[in-house]
């Protein structure tokens, strides 16, 4: 994901998908993002 893409933009994109798929992918994306952020700040 390019730097500078806001969470709002991501949410708008995700909101176009079905709720079930959106929820599953959002959880995975948030987990991966948090791991990446934690790694970068180590």
Question: DSSP string spanning 1-32?
Answer: --TT--HHHHHHHHTTS-HHHHHHHHHHHHHH
The answer to whether residue 36 sits within a structural domain is yes
* pLDDT tens track for 1-42: 555 668 777 777 766 666 677 778 888 989 998 888 888 776
Separation of alpha carbons 7 and 26, rounded Å: 11
The answer to whether residue 34 sits within a structural domain is yes
Q: Token pair of 16, please? A: 């176009």
What's the total number of domains in the chain? 1
Residue pointed to by tokens 């390019």: 2
Look at residue 41 and give its three-state secondary structure. coil
Domain span including residue 21: 9-40
**Residue 31: what pLDDT?**
92
**Residue 16: what pLDDT?**
67
The answer to whether residue 4 sits within a structural domain is no
């Amino acid at each position: 994901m390019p730097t500078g893409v806001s969470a709002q933009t991501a949410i708008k994109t995700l909101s176009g998908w079905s709720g079930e798929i959106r929820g599953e992918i959002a959880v995975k994306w948030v987990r991966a993002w948090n791991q990446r952020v934690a790694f970068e700040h180590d």
